[in-house]
Amino acid sequence: MPKDKIILGLDPGTSVMGYGVIQITGNKMSMLQYGVIHLSKYANHEIKLRKIFDRVTSLIEDYAPDEVALEAPFYGKNIQSMLKLGRAQGVAMAAALRLDLPISEYAPKKVKQSVTGNGNASKEQVAEMLKTLLGIKEIPKLLDATDALGVAVCHHFQGGKTASGPKSWKAFINDNPSRVKK
């Protein structure tokens, strides 16, 4: 039987950052909290980073997660946006690392695939599936919150393994003996 644990999922952003906290008890998954951190009201990027660090630290103190899962930034055409997004993710990671929490990253397609079965699902489809899986009463206006819950659920479905997979062919074969043809 799986160990009971709490997972904090984060969807980093520089205007809005989503967070979601789920609890795993035996085979049951339940939502503890989800929401967004509004950052667009701060003009200075450094202040936004400080707010991310403070709020993630506060979430960790409030919910005492065992693990933290983040959505990895997707590659876009605007290098400046990517740099700022990477900084936001780094600050969120630093808040978790400061408290020695294990961190995993998942690509957006991996999260969508894990939650809905379709790596090209829309944010709305992810939110609808999470509504069913976690018993959410109403989908929030800002889907960054459900995106963050999706990251936490993906992490749980992946068994806490990072998206990087096995480190070698030998490790893959050991982990997947049924997939080896003789």
Q: Which of 67, 105, 144, 147 is catalytic?
A: 144
Would the annotation count 54 as a binding residue?
Answer: no
The answer to whether 110 touches 154, Cβ cutoff 8 Å, is yes
Q: State both tokens at 5.
A: 């644990």
Q: Assess whether 147 carries a catalytic annotation.
A: no
By three-state DSSP, how is residue 21 classified? strand
Q: Which of 67, 71, 105, 147 is catalytic?
A: 71
Q: Assess whether 138 carries a catalytic annotation.
A: no
Alpha-carbon distance 83 to 152, whole Å? 24
In this structure, what are the phi and psi dihedrals at residue 146, rounded to the nearest 5 degrees? Answer: -75, -30
By three-state DSSP, how is residue 139 classified? coil
Would the annotation count 11 as a binding residue?
Answer: yes
The answer to whether 78 touches 39, Cβ cutoff 8 Å, is no
Alpha-carbon distance 174 to 168, whole Å? 10
Question: Sheet of 5-11: strands edge to edge?
Answer: 28-38, 16-25, 5-11, 67-71, 103-106
Q: Which of 11, 67, 105, 147 is catalytic?
A: 11
Q: Assess whether 11 carries a catalytic annotation.
A: yes
Would the annotation count 100 as a binding residue?
Answer: no
Residues in binding site for Mg(2+): 11, 71, 144
The residues annotated with a catalytic role in the active site are 11, 71, 144
Residues in binding site: 11, 71, 144
